[in-house]
Structure 1
Amino acid sequence: MIPSYDPHDSEYGLKLLEDLTTNAYEVQQKVLEEILAKNAQTDYLKSFLNGHYDKKLFKQKVPVVNYEDVKPYIERIANGEPSEIISAQTITELLTSSGTSGGQPKMMPSTAEDLERKTFFYNLLVPVMNKYVDGLDQGKGMYLLFIKPEISTPSGLVARPVLTSYYKSSNFRNRPFNRFNVYTSPDETILCSDSKQSMYCQLLCGLVQRDQVLRVGAVFASAFLRAIKFLEDHWKELCSNIRSGQVSDWITEPSCRNAVSLILEKPNPDLADLVEHEFATKSWEGIIKKLWPITKYIEVIVTGSMAQYIPTLEFYSGGLPLISTMYASSECYFGINFKPLSKPHDVAYTLLPNMAYFEFLPVERNHEEVVLCNGVSDQNCVLKEDETEKLETVDLVDVKLGHYYELVVTTFTGLYRYRVGDILMVTGFYNNAPQFRFVHRRNVVLSIDTDKTNEEDLLNAVTQAKLLLEPLGFLLIEYTSYADTSSIPGHYVLFWELKVKGNNDLEELIDPSIMEQCCSTMEESLDSVYRRCRRKDHSIGPLEIRIVKHGTFDALMDFAVSEGSSVNQYKTPRCINSEEAIKILDSRVVGRFFSKTTPFWEPFRMETK
């Protein structure tokens, strides 16, 4: 199911996408047939199908599962048992999730063929971008990419993040156009295990080649903004290196140092003066366009929890488009944004039907007293009275416009009817393939009493509150939250890191009355259950916002990385439970503010027929 494709042939790449999306149903049926035929004798499938591989029987007998259901099988393989437990193909490595968006890191099986499937997926991004942006072959891309150290399981299998796996593969080194030197970061700088040295060297290379950079980016918006913060802290040293033609002594990784030295070549005082002038300006508004004047766009994921970074990115971008190209996870690579120049809030991903077999659990979103899901039971959903066991799924081509679904995948690597945990909304169709907007992760919530606040609801409340600050010149750089139950009643706590345009001395500028209004606005924006608990039941105390010092969320990320998270895949958790993480945040608080009013609430009445 991996078509042969020359990524240099954009015309054929677009035709291939047309064929895949036009024949989505047929491709999906072939995918399921192939997966079942190859894996019918695995221990997992045999326990349900007795060696048969009928597609209808698969739907009837194989259950829809969570990670906890398949974890024992994956751990057995990690401990040395054969791949045939779940996969007919040899499992070559285990891919770890970031562990920041819904619990502890998970391990997902991967095979050599799966790496080829990912490479095919990446290659299809090229013709889509070429269709919408001219002249990308006339310059370079500055992409800030990072790896993390891998670990070895008792079986000897490597366990590492999916992006680390790809970056350390020959497929990445031989990616399209790499041999023509069209990326500013040498592979050696990306593969440097010291994330600080890697960041410094990649930015230095990007600055030296600034006149050739046509596009800039990172995987997630948060990583790109971390790079801007890094520039704020190190620009004088970077300029000094450019001026002298020498790399700083603390860059000690030999291959990384040598690769950067080849790009620096010789002293360049004129370039140093030029970029130093841009760095030294009072306000960094539009700094990306100023530093890389011919760049055409910023490529970062700004959907889901990354959406809250959009205003900050727009502040720094100088009007450059923000482009989210793809939707993927450790379990599987899913879909491509066929309209990359669409506004961030309009981004939709078209799932490629040959990447996996896709099913969908219908989710009825209500935002009021209850959320009903078709056979799905979790913290955000309750079962209908007549649905107690079987989870009824919908096939890819049968989803309905405007409806919400939870994504379920059956992969080529040993996951069968696996709940990814992503809630998606159907926004349209490309040929016969549906397009989805990523809404939020399942089970990422704040809860004190009967309230259940998910990631999307929290983002909406924060978005409404920060509207009070933006006219005053404040930018919300980062936020996270936790449910503080140390007192009775418990209450929501939001940590906000703010930036003042052109000024970092925000402590003296914070108006307590405005911050109290932000607290109240957030509460008014939360759902009916929360507001009832606050106003009528008094089971939730006033919402609190704690303002933290500049750089606090960098410290939070450093802590997460020290605990095993990947720099490249790190996403600031919107809800945190770690006592150590809360201590890091609390130690940097410069202001605490509470809601002074109780939010409006009236009883919700369900209509009866």
Structure 2
Amino acid sequence: MDGKKLEFKGEEALKELERLTINAREVQETILNDILSRNRETEYLRKHLKGVTDISEFKSRVPVVTYKHVLPYIERISNGEDSSIISGHPIIELLRSSGTTGGEPRLMPSIAEDLDRRTYVYNLLMPIMSKHLSGLDKGKVMHLLFIKAETVLPSGIPARSVLTSYYKSDHFRCRGADPYNDLTSPTEVILCPDSHQSMYCQLLSGLIHRHSVLRLGAVFASALLRSITFLERNWHEFTNDIRTGRLNPTITDHACRAVMSHMLLSPNPTLADEIESICNNASWRGIVVRLWPKVKCIEAVLTGTMAQYIPMLEFYSGGGIPLVCTMYASSESYFGVNLNPLCHPNDVSYTLLPNMAYFEFIELENGLRCGNGEEVQKEKVVGLVDVKVGRYYEIVITTFSGLYRYRVGDVLQVTGFYNNAPQFKFIGRRNVILSIDSDKTNEEDLHKSITTVKEILEKQNYFLIEYTSYADSSSVPGHYVLFWEIKLISEKLEPGNVQCLVHPELIESCCIAIEESLDYVYRRCRTHDRSVGPLEIRLVEGGTFEALMDLLISQGSSINQYKTPRCIEQGPALGLLNSKVKGCFYSPKDPAWSA
């Protein structure tokens, strides 16, 4: 599957999609045979297959693995060993995943051909969208796109995010004239490493072209909301730039200044007055359609943990335009597309593309809480076309770049088939209970973080009775909330009175300690990306968690098997906890982080 075999656009892309999905089983077998043929001489496959390339032998001899099994090979490549230990093609970069291990980001191998696969998926999106929305080639696209800092490993290979890789590639920079993807943001602005200056210039570009924007969005819903609140804080500066025809002096990046100064060739007081009148409104409900009156849809990832942002986007959009989720992808591989883009985000199913990688699935019995062990029964692993509608699976991939039967950690539910290719609803990450942006905190990591602060409390004669957590997206950026019930160890107090005796500095020190103990990605989002706000601890009155237990039992939980939920969502349980809050405390400083 070299690059030329992936160069499909428009109607040809849709025809190829039909061929792939009709022949899903055959395409998958071809993909795996191709991978085994190319990579048969790698150290990894020689160790397990001894030169054999038979598919049945591959499934029998090659184990299903997690990142800890892949990590030693990644470290060797990072330190300069040849790519051939896992791949038959040179590894040109290691892609930082949002998943973590041991507090550090996962690094996924990538070869040059992977960029062709990603581009193939992007080229599918507009033919699909155009079947549902007409005239998308008659205006501009305001996509807020950002790069993240990258590092050069001892081997000389760069380590960066998959989106940074794509935006810096010739596939993106030299994409040519495309009437369906005429971006409002100049490439120089997208590639600006300073996220503040990049966001400023991208929003300014979008406002200048406000009457031409047909599609608006970002990769993740959290980033789009962050941009809207940035606009809310800085719209005076934007209107001043447009009114005077001069760029804000705080934009110091030379490439940004050059390209934006060209865009602001002359003063435009009429446009500035329009924007000022809209932004001066007391309510920002529907601000998106008022600022960009021709916009037909908002595009962003709104599945999984991002679903929490749907209400806020509906508020800002006025609820009158569709929220569109176009594709399903990760650092490990691009997976599939949404063939029904105008459906509600809660109903999104992705059709997996059989030519992206070789896919297998571990059948789970109860969704997210199953399949977490290292050992996987062979009979529980099935192929792409052998999954069953309604059942839950964890996805496993084998790639050209050197991942073999690798557990991605995503849990999916089969909703149906398109031709012979299955369609999946994204349920979430295995064990993840808290997420605001690219951070993903699981129950075990949260528990470890809480354990680190118990000693702080006990030294001050306090005992942590119970806790739970909540990902609060009611403000931007969102933040983690911990509900704590504590009491004095050596004194008897009536329920509720203990809170007024707690020194704020004590709980704030607990906030700091918890954030310091959370993983690399969380700390990066807090300190560098500013996409997650300070952690909050809400102290609740005595007896609150007993009341929570009573509530959940009344809703059907078993008293014999009851366990305090370590994370809660919107609903009666959250309402109960918030009604019992006696004090709120925030982390007063950023956690330590270094690139």
TM-score by length of 2: 0.78
Give the 5 Å matches for 1:309-388.
309-318=309-318, 319-365=320-366, 373=371, 377=373
CA distance in 2, matches of 1:180, 1:399: 35
Instruction: Give the aligned partner of residue 403 of structure 1.
Output: 391
The answer to whether the 8 Å contact 1:408/1:418 transfers is yes
CA distance in 1, matches of 2:50, 2:418: 38
Residue of structure 2 in register with 1:98 after alignment: 98
- Shift in Å, 1:67: 0.5
Give 1:397's aligned amino acid: V
Q: How does 1:31-46 map to 2 (within 5 A)?
A: 31-46=31-46
1:85-115 alpha-carbon deviations (Å, 9 max, x no partner):
0001010111011357995310000011111
For the 8 Å contact 2:140–2:184, the answer to whether it is kept is yes
Is 1:93–1:159's contact at 8 Å kept on the other side of the alignment?
yes
The amino acid that maps onto 1:350 is T
User: Which residue, 475, 483, 489 being the options, matches 2:465?
Assistant: 489
**Partner residue in 1 for 2:279:** 279
Kindly tell me: are residues 261 and 426 of structure 1, through their superposed partners in 2, closer, same or farther at Cα, counting changes over 3 Å?
same
Work out which of the residue numbers 416, 419, 423 in structure 2 matches 1:435: 423
Residue equivalent to 2:582: none
CA distance in 1, matches of 2:559, 2:400: 49
Single out whichever of 163-172 and 100-109 deviates more from structure 2. 100-109
Q: Distance in 1 between matches of 2:105 and 2:223?
A: 19
Deviation sequence 1:397-420 (CA, Å, 0-9, x none) = 000000000000000100000000
Correspondence 1:232-243 to 2 at 5 A: 232-243=232-243
CA contact (8 A) 2:433 2:442 kept: no
Instruction: Work out the CA distance in 2 between the residues paired with 1:570 and 1:348.
Output: 31
Aligned pairs (5 A) from 1:186-585:
186-318=186-318, 319-365=320-366, 373=371, 377=373, 390=378, 392-445=380-433, 484-485=450-451, 486=454, 487-494=463-470, 496=472, 498=474, 564=524, 584-585=534-535
Distance in 1, Cα, partners of 2:385 & 2:252? 53
Q: 1:34 to 1:495 in 2, by over 3 A?
A: closer
Q: Secondary structure at the match of 1:439?
A: strand
Stretch of structure 1 that moved more, 398-407 or 596-605:
596-605
| Range with bigger deviation, 129-138 or 300-309 | 129-138
Match of 2:591 in 1: none
1:21 and 1:432 in contact (8 A); partners too: yes
Q: Is the contact made by 2:339 and 2:350 (CA closer than 8 Å) also made in structure 1?
A: yes
* Distance apart, 1:561 and its partner CA: 8.0
In the alignment, the residues of structure 2 paired with residue 562 and residue 73 of structure 1 have an alpha-carbon distance, to the nearest angstrom, of 25
> In structure 2, what is the Cα distance between the partners aligned to 1:268 and 1:60?
68
Q: CA separation in 1, counterparts of 2:35 and 2:169?
A: 25
Please show how residues 139-150 of structure 1 align to structure 2 within 5 Å.
Answer: 139-150=139-150
Q: Deviations over 1:418-440 (max 9, x none)?
A: 00000000011100000000001
Looking at structure 2, the residues matched to 295 and 102 of structure 1 have their Cα atoms a distance apart, in angstroms, of 43
Q: Are the aligned partners of 1:28 and 1:357 in contact in 2 as well (CA < 8 Å)?
A: yes
Describe the shift of the 1:158–1:567 C-alpha distance in structure 2 as closer, same or farther (beyond 3 A): farther
The answer to whether the Cα contact below 8 Å between 1:483 and 1:492 also exists between their aligned partners in 2 is no
The answer for the alignment partner of 1:57 in structure 2 is 57
**Could you tell me whether the CA contact under 8 Å between 1:87 and 1:413 is conserved in 2?**
yes
Report deviation, 1:598.
3.6
The letter of the residue matching 2:420 is N
CA drift at 1:599: 2.1
1:25/1:397 contact within 8 Å kept? yes
Determine if contact 1:364/1:372 at 8 Å carries over to the other structure.
yes
Q: Is the 8 A contact 2:218 2:224 kept in 1?
A: yes
- Partner SS, residue 428 of structure 2: strand
**Distance change >3 Å, CA 180–CA 286, structure 1 → 2:** closer
The count of residues paired between Structure 1 and Structure 2 equals 501
What is the CA–CA distance in structure 1 between the aligned matches of 2:194 and 2:162, rounded to whole Å? 18
SS at match of 1:599: helix
1:599 lines up with 2:549 in the alignment: yes
User: Residues 138 and 332 of structure 1: is their aligned pair in 2 closer, same or farther, counting only changes over 3 Å?
Assistant: same
In 2, distance between residues paired with 1:53 and 1:259? 53
Q: Residue in 2 aligned with 1:134?
A: 134
| Cα deviation, residue 222, structure 1 | 0.2
Counterpart of 2:489? none
Residue 69 of structure 1 corresponds to which residue in structure 2? 69
Displacement after TM superposition at 1:160 (Å): 0.4
Query: 2 CA distance for matches of 1:102 and 1:222?
Result: 25
Q: Percent identity?
A: 51
Q: 1:291 to 1:560 in 2, by over 3 A?
A: farther
Whether the 8 Å contact between 2:483 and 2:539 is mirrored in structure 1 is: no
| Distance of 1:50 and 1:90 partners within structure 2 | 22
Aligned mates of 2:103, 2:197 — CA distance in 1: 29
Paired residue secondary structure (2:289): helix
2:118 is matched with: 118
Structure 2 letter corresponding to 1:491:
Y
Structure 1 residues 245 and 239, CA gap change in structure 2 (3 angstroms): same
Q: Mean Cα displacement is larger for which, 119-128 or 308-317?
A: 119-128
Any gaps of 5 or more consecutive residues in structure 2? 435-439, 455-462, 477-481, 485-498, 505-510, 562-595
CA distance in 2, matches of 1:70, 1:276: 54
| SS of alignment partner, residue 236 of structure 1 | helix
CA displacement at 1:180 relative to structure 2: 9.2
Counterpart secondary structure, 1:492: strand
Q: For 2:217, what is the secondary structure of its paired residue?
A: strand
Q: Please give the per-residue CA displacement for 1:154-208, whole angstroms capped at 9, x wherever unaligned.
A: 0101110000000001100123635998110000000000000000000000000
State whether residues 358 and 410 of structure 1, in contact with CA within 8 Å, keep that contact through their aligned partners in structure 2: yes
Residues 210 and 352 (structure 1), Cα distance of their counterparts in 2 relative to 1, 3 Å cut: same
Tell me the residue number matched to 2:155.
155
Is 1:484–1:490's contact at 8 Å kept on the other side of the alignment? Answer: no
- One-letter identity of the residue aligned with 1:422: D
SS class of match (2:154): coil
Partner Cα separation in structure 2 for residue 250 and residue 411 of structure 1: 44
